[in-house]
């Protein structure tokens, strides 16, 4: 089980030797220096409620839940929180951040984390909008609104710096998507069958098209993101099975029997962290 307090201490210790002069990683990405006082993020004046909830000073028609599928990316999470809280608050959003942490060993399964996060959050409160968000992606433009649209699935991580701010392929819906709870139910969530890297996002596209939902995107010049550099994680090897699963998904309409309706997981605990500005789910997979 992951103990936040201990890791927090560990993290602060590790960052101590960073040079006094900030090293700019990239554009708006916070520097290591800015990250150093991780234990006192409250002091930054982010004005959050316990568990990473923000209540805007005005009436917001939607409540947004941000779900981050997560395992062992603490540095990315720290960068993300420092970047995203101010960003989301500028938009006057009513939001809560949920980190869905895979605590069971074995291969990473992003789909199961998204689905189990959705199910558990629904028990806590009524959210209108769910934003599924890679931990390493940072929006570069304030006009990328983290709200949902009844007209379709909003694919936000459209123009990545890594790819020269172009979309790799039209059916790509990876990285960051904003989905109303109604549409998420209609899609039957993500597939639970994709273990390891790749395919679960393309499967999500298959679901969107089979459900006859539209994909909405902000202009290429607006929907820009930076991905914090990383290597492939251990426990998340390329899934060689992904093309077979995708074919099956298309030809047998797997969506109907795989997703929220056959989801299996065990919730280890739910903890609210104000010091880390985040509400964390520890969810456990059952094979
Ligand atoms: C692409 C997609 C991503 C996903 C992935 C294939 C974009 C912009 N991103 O990202 O959405 O479809 O391909 O699976 O299209 N994670 C952990 N710990 C781990 C492994 C993964 O926290 O050990 C989480 C984390 O939130 C990470 C995300 O899963 O951002 C996706 O994994 P990745 O960053 O390794 O994949 P990447 O960058 O190729
Ligand atoms: Mn990534």
Q: What percent of the chain has pLDDT over 90?
A: 62
From the candidates 119, 161, 197, 268, give the one annotated as an active-site residue: 197
The overall average pLDDT reported for the chain is: 84
Confidence of residue 34 (pLDDT cuts 50, 70, 90): very low
Which pLDDT does position 69 carry in this prediction? 96
From the candidates 71, 73, 134, 242, give the one annotated as an active-site residue: 134
- Of the residues 105, 108, 110, 172, which should be mutated to test ligand 1's pocket, given the most ligand atoms within 8 Å of the CB? 110
247 is an active site residue: no
> Which of 55, 52, 223 lies closest to 146 in space, CA to CA?
223
**pLDDT at residue 23 greater than cutoff 60:** no
Buried b (16+ CB within 10 A) or exposed e, 182-206: ebbebbbbbbbbbbbbbbbbbbbbb
136 is an active site residue: yes
Q: What is the ipTM of this complex?
A: 0.99
Tell me which residue has its CA closest to atom 18 in ligand 1: 71
User: Ligand 1 atom closest to Cα of 233?
Assistant: 23
Cα diameter, the chain: 58
**pLDDT at residue 36 greater than cutoff 80:** no
The CA-atom distances, in angstroms, between 281 and each of 52, 78, 144, 270 are 12, 16, 26, 5
Chain centroid offset of residue 111 CA: 11
Q: Are 107 and 196 in contact (CB under 8 A)?
A: yes
The CA-atom distances, in angstroms, between 242 and each of 51, 99, 109, 202, 238 are 35, 25, 13, 9, 9
- Angle 148-153-156 from CA coordinates, rounded to 5°: 75
Residue 225 has which token pair? 């993101």
Which pLDDT does position 105 carry in this prediction? 87
| 87-101, 111-125, 187-201: range with lowest mean pLDDT | 87-101
Using the mean position of ligand 2's atoms as its centre, give its distance from the Cα of residue 77 in Å.
12
**pLDDT at residue 15 greater than cutoff 50:** no
From the candidates 125, 162, 230, 244, give the one annotated as an active-site residue: 230
Q: Are 169 and 86 in contact (CB under 8 A)?
A: no
Using CA atoms, how far apart are residues 23 and 131, in angstroms rounded to an integer? 30
Answer with the residue of higher pLDDT: 43 or 232.
232
Q: How many CA atoms lie within 13 A of 126 on its CB side?
A: 3
Tell me which residue has its CA closest to atom 6 in ligand 1: 198
216 by Cβ neighbours in 10 Å (0-12 / 13-18 / 19+) ranks as middle
Confidence of residue 286 (pLDDT cuts 50, 70, 90): low
SS3 state of residue 279: strand
**pLDDT at residue 9 greater than cutoff 70:** no
Question: 53-54 and 137-139 as β-strands: parallel, antiparallel, unpaired?
Answer: unpaired
Residue 49 has which token pair? 């409620």
Using CA atoms, how far apart are residues 256 and 143, in angstroms rounded to an integer? 35
- Of the residues 100, 107, 132, 134, which should be mutated to test ligand 1's pocket, given the most ligand atoms within 8 Å of the CB? 134
268 is an active site residue: no
Tell me which residue has its CA closest to atom 15 in ligand 1: 174
Question: 129-133 and 63-70 as β-strands: parallel, antiparallel, unpaired?
Answer: parallel
Collect all residues with Cβ–Cβ distance below 8 Å to 286 and sequence separation of at least 6: 264, 265, 266
Confidence of residue 104 (pLDDT cuts 50, 70, 90): confident
Which pLDDT does position 117 carry in this prediction? 95
Using CA atoms, how far apart are residues 233 and 175, in angstroms rounded to an integer? 16
Q: What is the pTM of this model?
A: 0.86
134 is an active site residue: yes
Answer with the residue of higher pLDDT: 13 or 218.
218
Count of beta carbons in the 10 Å neighbourhood of residue 67 = 25
Which pLDDT does position 201 carry in this prediction? 98
Within 6 Å (CB) of ligand 1, which residues are found?
A: 68-73, 108, 110, 134-136, 157, 160, 174-175, 197-198, 200-201, 232-233, 235-236
> Of the bound ligands, which one is closest to the alpha carbon of residue 225?
1
From the candidates 114, 133, 140, 200, give the one annotated as an active-site residue: 200
């Amino acid at each position: 089980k992951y103990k936040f307090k201990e890791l927090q201490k560990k993290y602060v210790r590790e960052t101590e030797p960073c040079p006094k002069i900030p090293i700019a990683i990239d554009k708006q990405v916070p520097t290591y220096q800015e990250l150093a006082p991780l234990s006192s993020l409250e002091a930054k004046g982010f004005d959050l409620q316990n568990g990473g909830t923000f209540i805007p000073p005005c009436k917001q028609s939607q409540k947004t839940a941000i779900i981050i599928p997560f395992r062992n990316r603490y540095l990315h999470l720290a960068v993300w929180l420092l970047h995203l809280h101010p960003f989301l608050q500028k938009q006057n959003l009513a939001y809560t951040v949920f980190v869905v942490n895979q605590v069971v060993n074995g291969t990473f399964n992003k789909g199961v984390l998204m689905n189990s996060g959705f199910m558990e959050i629904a028990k806590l409160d009524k959210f209108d909008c769910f934003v599924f968000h890679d931990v390493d992606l940072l929006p570069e433009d304030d006009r990328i609104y983290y709200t949902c649209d009844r007209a379709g699935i909003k694919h936000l991580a459209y123009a990545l710096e890594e790819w020269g701010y172009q979309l790799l392929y039209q059916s790509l819906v990876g990285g960051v998507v904003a989905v109303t709870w109604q549409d998420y139910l209609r899609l039957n969530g993500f597939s639970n069958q994709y273990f390891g890297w790749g395919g679960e996002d393309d499967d999500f596209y298959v679901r969107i098209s089979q459900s006859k939902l539209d994909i909405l995107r902000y202009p290429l010049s607006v929907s820009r993101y930076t991905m914090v550099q990383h290597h492939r994680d251990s426990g998340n090897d390329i899934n060689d099975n992904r093309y077979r699963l995708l074919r099956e998904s298309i030809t047998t309409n797997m969506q109907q029997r795989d997703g929220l309706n056959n989801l299996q997981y065990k919730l280890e605990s739910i903890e609210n962290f104000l010091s880390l500005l985040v509400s964390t789910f520890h969810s456990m997979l059952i094979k």
